[in-house]
Amino acid sequence: MAVFNAKKREIECKIVFYGPGRSGKTTNLEYIFKSYKKQVSGEMVSINTEGDRTLFFDFLPMGLGKIKGCDVRVQLYTVPGQVKYSSTRKLVLRGVDGIVFVADSLKVRREKNMLSLKDLHKNLKEYGTSIFKVPLVIQYNKRDLPVPLMSIEQMELDLNRQLKVPSHPASAIKGDGVGITLKECLKLTLISLQKQLKWTQ
Amino acid sequence: MDLKTRLKSLLEEAEIYRSQGLFSDAKTKYEEAAKLIESHDQLKRNTNLLNAIAKKINLLENNSQNVETLPKSPEIPAKAQDLIKKLFSNGQKQDAGKAELEGAIALAKFGQFERALVEFNKLMQTDDSARFVCVKNILRCHVELSDIDEAIGAYRQWLRDEFLPPDQMEQIRQFLEKLLKTKKINQILPKAGGEPEVENEAAGGSEQEDVPKDKPEEFLDISTIVLEIDNDETQLPPVELDVSFQSGNIISLIIDKKNKDLINALKEGDQIDDIQFYSSIAIFMGSGIIQSKTQIESGPKRGDFSVDIRVIST
Ligand SMILES: Nc1nc2c(ncn2[C@@H]2O[C@H](COP(=O)(O)OP(=O)(O)OP(=O)(O)O)[C@@H](O)[C@H]2O)c(=O)[nH]1
Ligand SMILES: [Mg+2]
């Protein structure tokens, strides 16, 4: 749930990177932190377990400057993807304004992607919104790995047949596709917020 | 692909999964590789290779085990706790006191019970309006930390101090008794108003009713319910109904069109008490509100009714 301060003309919104365990959510944020120095407005905080798996969330604040006369600040979060952290995942999702779903292109992770998308669907529903309404972009990550990968067509069929949201192949570790995914998600989110909050010049 | 190339590619694949932290996928590949070796005499002689693979599998099993057994919400550094407090309360949108309370609740939700206790205790002293919520949460934190004596001790102290009005204290008593039951402790607590204290009933026992935790996120999966309509207008014998779908604390039931009396008796907005809820791990009694009642218009269940019930108290 975005915070809009009409007087100061400030808006703060929340983007959550969702997806199965190990799909590369944290890697996305790390790349953004390294590469968008100008927009990053604070430290990236990661609360993880020993094995570098996200325990609670990663957090990265950004400032996009003035858009339509309004100062736009964005908080990026990742959820923990491992199945056992379902209640934390739901907590982090609360009040989300836009979502990047990071899917894993490895063939062996096919089912995990679908289960995670289903989990997202359920959690959004329990928060009284819908996966069909929330600004959402899908990323097909790890395209660089030399192991059996699913084709993009296959992944579109698995994950995006009904949703029909923008999607991008990526290699978060190299940074390919990270920027465009984020920008697309921000664009959708801001359009949706402009509609909701009726914020114009 | 010849045998060696196949083996090589299996091993490479396994190694990549391992480096990605995908331990069980890596293990599967190593096992495939081992099978391949064992089914070919020329490779089988290479016991070194088989041993090496067995070692890899062993290590992977240990790694997965380590990941699995990590605590779900360990205490984290104070700085990270501060961040949770700040990020998960609506600080900017409301007054400071309310944000403090929300921050403390967020800490408890993330399993930071020790720190949450500090916050609730502080808040309770400075903000009278937050007392009731603080007291409830303090008890929950103690119980989550398995500090049962602390919880009961705190309750007794508040009772003696008349820290809350009697009606609120009574709610707290019921709340704590339920909470203790989730830990299989059947304790009867003294009531506000000075009834004599009954000492410690026998604890434990598998026959005891278990009560779900009072957290919406962790609502138990309910498989069947038994409800009985017994009001001024209608009296119907108890019926058992299967839950066809559940989302959080809302359960959906399908009721056969033949069950006219029951369908008529269930009115939207009505509350039904004394429902028995059956889940795989517990049976409990509670109340529910009829959220919606709609007739199914197509498919094999056409004409039957779909009824949603929101479980409100258990
Ligand atoms: N080759 C390659 N490896 C990647 C890519 N993205 C992530 N990884 C690796 O995959 C592993 C998991 O990445 P994380 O970013 O920690 O995954 P996550 O989604 O945050 O995982 P959880 O926190 O457990 O949910 C790490 O070893 C990363 O280096 C990618 O595009 N290419
Ligand atoms: Mg992560």
Q: pLDDT for B225-270, tens place per residue?
A: 888 887 766 777 778 888 887 777 888 888 988 888 889 888 888 8
List the residue whose alpha carbon is closest to atom 12 of ligand 1.
A22
* B208 within a domain of the structure (yes/no): no
The answer to whether B223 and B242 have CB atoms below 8 angstroms apart is yes
* A199 within a domain of the structure (yes/no): no
Instruction: State how far the Cα of A74 lies from the Cα of A71, in Å rounded to an integer.
Output: 10
Q: Which of B12, B44, B69 is the last residue of a domain?
A: B69
Considering its fold, how many domains does chain A have in total?
1
Residues B60 and B30 in one domain: yes
Residues B177 and B155 in one domain: yes
CATH of the domain at A87: 3.40.50.300
Residues B117 and B183 in one domain: yes
Least Cα separation, residue B280 to chain A (angstroms):
19
Q: Which of B198, B227, B249 is the last residue of a domain?
A: B198
Q: In which domain, by residue range, is B26 found?
A: 3-69
Across the range B23-39, mean pLDDT stands at 95
Half-sphere exposure of B265 (CA within 13 A, CB side): 19
* Nearest CB to A87; choose among B20, B76, B217: B217
Pocket flag, ligand 1, residue A105 (CB < 6 Å)? no
Considering its fold, how many domains does chain B have in total?
3
Q: pLDDT for B158-204, tens place per residue?
A: 999 999 999 999 999 999 999 999 888 888 899 887 654 444 444 43
Residues B178 and B290 in one domain: no
Q: Which of B49, B69, B89 is the last residue of a domain?
A: B69
Residue B12's nearest CA partner among B23, B24, B22, B26 is: B26
Pocket flag, ligand 1, residue A81 (CB < 6 Å)? yes
CATH of the domain at B270: 2.40.10.220
The answer to whether B181 and B210 have CB atoms below 8 angstroms apart is yes
Residues B61 and B86 in one domain: no
Instruction: State how far the Cα of A144 lies from the Cα of A170, in Å rounded to an integer.
Output: 8
* B159 within a domain of the structure (yes/no): yes
ipTM: 0.91
Centre of ligand 2 to C-alpha B239, Å, is 47
Residues B45 and B13 in one domain: yes
Structure tokens at A86: 């379902």
* B206 within a domain of the structure (yes/no): no
Q: pLDDT for A102-151, tens place per residue?
A: 999 999 999 999 999 999 999 999 998 999 999 999 999 999 999 999 99
* Nearest CB to B20; choose among A5, A22, A82: A22
Contact A106 B74 (CB under 8 A): no
Q: What is the pLDDT of residue B237?
A: 76
Residues B86 and B184 in one domain: yes
- Whether residue A68 is predicted with pLDDT greater than 80 in this model: the reply is yes
* B32 within a domain of the structure (yes/no): yes
